[in-house]
Structure formats: C-alpha cells, structure tokens
Amino acid sequence: MPDGGEADLDTAVYVARVQAMFHQPSCVQGQFGTADERLAAGWLRAGVALETVRRAILLGSVRKSMTLIDRPGGEPVRALRYFESLLDEVLDDSRPTSYWRQLDFNLDRCEQYWRDRPATASGRVRPDLEQASLPGGGLEPSPATGQEHDGETG
C-alpha cells in the first residue's frame, strides 16, 4: 500500500509527479515517453510511494553524476527504467533521513559543478561532497563509488 497518500492520487497526477522528478537532475537528458508513463503508472498500481521514487531518482542521479564527472563523455540517463532497480534498494534500505538529506546536498553540489565548471576543466576535478555515515560510526558505501568510507570529506 502506498505510504505517501498516493492511494488517493489518480494515475495522471502520479505520473506527472514522477515525470517532474525525472527531469530535475542534470544527468537526465531523456524524454519522458510512453514507456516511462506506463512504468510510472505500474509503480502506482504496485503501491510505490512517491517518496520512494524520489529517493531512487536521487540515489541514481548522484551515482550517475559522479560517474559522468569521473568519465566525461559518458551517457546521461535517457529513460525512467534506469532508476527501476534502485526502487528495491531504497525499499530495503534502513538508512536514516539524514543520509537522504546529504544525498540531496551532494546532488546539489554536482548540479553546481555542471553549471560552473569551465568547458575545458579536467574530468578529474570533482565537487566537494559530504559523506553520510551510519549510526554507531559504521562505515557506509559511498553512494558514488560503492567504496567504504569513514564519513570524512575528501
């Protein structure tokens, strides 16, 4: 059952909200076509909350942005299906709300990097990102690289 009040949304409204989220990140350069509309409508029927979709798009966008920064010339996201596998990861996730706030912050940093970087900048110049750590001081895989880190910036 949707946990964000989506049960009361009609399909067109839900799909329009997913579309708006899809088009926000700079790493997304695809159109929102019929296949994307059908996929989003299926998520509504399956009870996927909009917050879950937002987090999947956020997580995938940070990862994709860091990949594009590390390897200039890579392909941007072109379809909503790119984020589909991340829905399960987000649903099975027990990360605290602060983790998602830091991912929002880091995506903003990546977006600023894309806006401000000179066209001739090296792909090795990376935005200054903050890392989230798990409660209790445990190491957490970096959302960009999957490598464990200790929460230190840099």
pTM of the shown model: 0.72
Per-residue confidence (pLDDT) for residue 113, from 0 to 100: 83
Per-residue confidence (pLDDT) for residue 47, from 0 to 100: 93
Strand duo 148-149 + 140-141: pairing = antiparallel
Neighbours of 139 (CB within 10 A): 13
Per-residue confidence (pLDDT) for residue 148, from 0 to 100: 41
Per-residue confidence (pLDDT) for residue 130, from 0 to 100: 56
The HSE-up count of residue 99 (CA atoms within 13 Å, CB side) is 16
With a cut of 50, which residues of the chain have pLDDT below it?
1-3, 124, 132-154
Contact of 103 with 142, CB cutoff 8 Å: no
**Helix (H) or strand (E) run with residue 148 in it:** strand 148-149
Per-residue confidence (pLDDT) for residue 7, from 0 to 100: 59
Per-residue confidence (pLDDT) for residue 122, from 0 to 100: 52
